[in-house]
Every structure is written in C-alpha cells, then in structure tokens.
Structure 1
Amino acid sequence: MARMDLFDDATALTAIPIEDGRLAFQQRLDLDLSPQDVFCRLRDETDWRAEQIQVWGKLHLQPRLSAWHGTARYRYSGKTFEPQPFTPLQLHIKQAVELATGCRFNSVLLNYYRDERDSMGFHADDEPELGPEPAIASVSFGAPRTFILKHRTVPKTVKLALGDGCLLLMAGTLQRHWTHGINKERTARGPRINLTFRLIL
C-alpha cells in the first residue's frame, strides 16, 4: 500500500507517478476566492438531493448529497441525471480547472459529504459517454478526506489526503485499470464538498 506524499508547490499541477493511467495533483487551485468562501457558497447555492441508485438490482440511498450541473445528461448506476445549469460560481471554478489542466469540461457532479459517515463506494468513471480515456478533474473544499485508488488486477493501493481547495486530475487509461472511492471514517470529520468535472461526449 502506497501513501503518496503531496507537493510543496501549492500552485503547480504535478504528476504523481502511477502505472496504467495519469494522475496529477495541485495543492491549491488558483481562484480569487478563499476555499472557505467557496465552500459556504456551494453549500448554500446548490439544490442538494438525496439520490437513490441501483446496485446489484436493488435501490439504495446514496450516503451523501449530490447535484448534477452542466449541458448534458448523465447515466450511471441505473439512473439518468438531468442537468441543472451551471451557476456563476461553478463556471468560475470550471474555468480555473480548465486553465490548470488543459482539458475541456461541460458537466460537473457535486457531492456533499456532511460528516465522517458519508462516503463514496469504489467505482470507475468508465461510462461510454465519457469516452475511452476520460479526464476527470476533482476539486475539494472543506474538511480533508482520504481518497483511495485500487488497481483492478494487481494488489496496489494509493491513498491521497484531499484537502481544502485542492485539485486532482485522473486521465489516460486510469479509469480502465483503477477504481476509486472514499470510505466512512471512525473519527469525526467536518463537512466536505467535492466537484468532479467531466466532458460528456
């Protein structure tokens, strides 16, 4: 099991050495707003929903709140998500993410982890409408949580502490070879909001 050390240069998108895909990290996305202000606005301006998804033929309530924004509908876990329009703040963050990564995005999934009991099951963002080698840009605000990647075919695990205002880029063949998720935790955690920007083809 590898725990990656993050980088001293907060403003640079830096590659993380990883097999079977591309992974890059920036400790602080360059925004003209503080991460705390962004968190509060996202929390208050977003129409959060408790969604049900289908897993192994059964409906389950997601252990977090979510919202889908952008210009394209998205289908995963047996459910189709109709987009809400980008808000001005989301567009501002999207432009900063596109500048930092050199990638273009037309949609964003927002997840609100209210405390340590909220989580994200292990999965890959490998839906056909994302294309064969999708770029997924993840931006986090609020309390840090541990992001875990597990290789599909070899016993390799990577853990990253995603803190307030950081940017993580997953690209290349990563979704084909790795799954990722966020576990529930035993120690108390404050709220966290994560945005994952995607290009729906």
Structure 2
Amino acid sequence: MTVESNLFKDLELPDSEVYYCPDFLNRDEADVYFKHLRAKIPWQQDDIKVFGKVYAQPRLTALYANNNKPYSYSNITMRPHLFTPELTELKKKIEQYCHYKFTTCLLNLYRNGKDSNGWHADNEKELGKNPVIASLSLGADRLFHLKHNTVPDLKHKLVLQHGSLLLMKGKTQHFWKHQVPKTSKPVGERINLTFRIIK
C-alpha cells in the first residue's frame, strides 16, 4: 500500500482501494485554505447535457494543472489555469502522504444543499487505466455515497469532514460509482479539491 497507513483508514470495500483520513488538515489550516479558495478561485458554472437536455451544472468548478492538458467529462472540456502557490502547497502536502505526483486539480464548489454531483466514476481515458484520485474537503460536511456496479447490496456512506482527505486508487473506478447527493437540510458551502494525474 502506497499511503501512510497510520493516517488513512482503509474502507475495506471489495474490488477497490479507498482510504479516508478525517483530519488531514487541522481546523485552522482548513479554515484558511477555504477562505482563500472561496475568494480567489475563478469559479464557473458549465452546462451539461443529460439525455439530450441541457442543464446548468449543479455546482461551480475550476480546473488547475502544472501542464496545459485539458480535462473532459459529461461533454464538458475544461482548460486549466496554472497552479497557484496555495494549490501547490496542498498538492505537495497530499503527495507527501500518498506518494503520487499529481498534475491536475478539479475544484468543486457546493454552494448549498441543492448543489450536488450525481452518480459517476472517474474513468475518463485521460486519467489512465487505474486512476488515482485524492479528494480534499473544505467547509461544510457532506455525505459521500459509493455503490458497486454489479452487486446491488454493496453500498457505503461516508461523511466528508472539513479538512479530510479521501483517496481512491487501483481498480475502484472500474467497479464503483460515487456521488455527493442533494440534501434538504440547511448546509453551508463546501469546496472539494480532486487531485488527479493526466499524462
């Protein structure tokens, strides 16, 4: 296993390698990064096409990279900004514990409980055969759901906390989908940074 096992809890889901660290950043660090990213990132809202209909994506996004490689999903192609010093700091912190070198970060801003990310796998071809996704959560806690593609009873729910890090690797994206569902409960803003490798 190429993660620091004393920090990360293995979710022990079949056909996957999914690890969770609830307090990767302490609260003060997480607060500072959240405020900075909320104010400084050039957030955008793209349209997505679902079953022939066009909708405004139910969250805001931004793409950063240390190369100029675009990233495409759901008929959206995003062009990256260059990593800021703060994103570079976070990237290095995560790389130190995950032992992977990330090239790209897709950021998501969930403004309230109506913002969401539907069932999907991070299996775009530019991510390679067995993608490594390191997902840092800042701001309000949100539920994260996982479900197996072929075994209906295999499901898992996890609360992604402020300052937490979730790592998905190996064959996870081949066998599992995940989502951040809508919620009717009052909930504050959440920023999610998903670090990826695009070669």
Q: TM-score, normalised by structure 2?
A: 0.92
For residues 34-74 of structure 1, give each alpha carbon's deviation from its aligned partner in whole angstroms, at most 9, with x where no partner exists: 21111000100100001112223332211111101102211
2:112 paired residue number: 115
Contact kept? 1:30, 1:96, Cα under 8 Å? no
Q: Of the candidates 138, 158, 164, which is equivalent to residue 162 of structure 2?
A: 164
For residues 118-160 of structure 1, give each alpha carbon's deviation from its aligned partner in whole angstroms, at most 9, with x where no partner exists: 1001100001111110100000000100000111100111101
Q: 1:160-199 to 2 correspondence within 5 Å?
A: 160-199=158-197
1:132 paired residue number: 129
Instruction: Give the aligned residue type for 1:151.
Output: H
Q: Aligned-residue CA RMSD in angstroms?
A: 1.4
1:51 paired residue number: 46
Shift of 1:80: 1.1
Shift of 1:32: 10
User: 4+ residue runs of structure 1 moved beyond 3 angstroms?
Assistant: 30-33
Shift of 1:21: 1.2
Q: 1:6-155 to 2 correspondence within 5 Å?
A: 12-30=7-25, 34-70=29-65, 71=67, 72-155=69-152
Contact kept? 2:17, 2:171, Cα under 8 Å? yes
Report how many aligned residue pairs link the two structures. 191
Shift of 1:16: 1.6
Partners of 1:18 and 1:102 lie apart in 2 by 21
Partners of 1:62 and 1:130 lie apart in 2 by 22
Partners of 1:18 and 1:32 lie apart in 2 by 28
Structure 1: gaps (5+ residues): 1-10
Partners of 2:140 and 2:26 lie apart in 1 by 18
Q: TM-score, normalised by structure 1?
A: 0.91
Moved more, 111-120 or 29-38: 29-38
Partners of 2:127 and 2:180 lie apart in 1 by 21
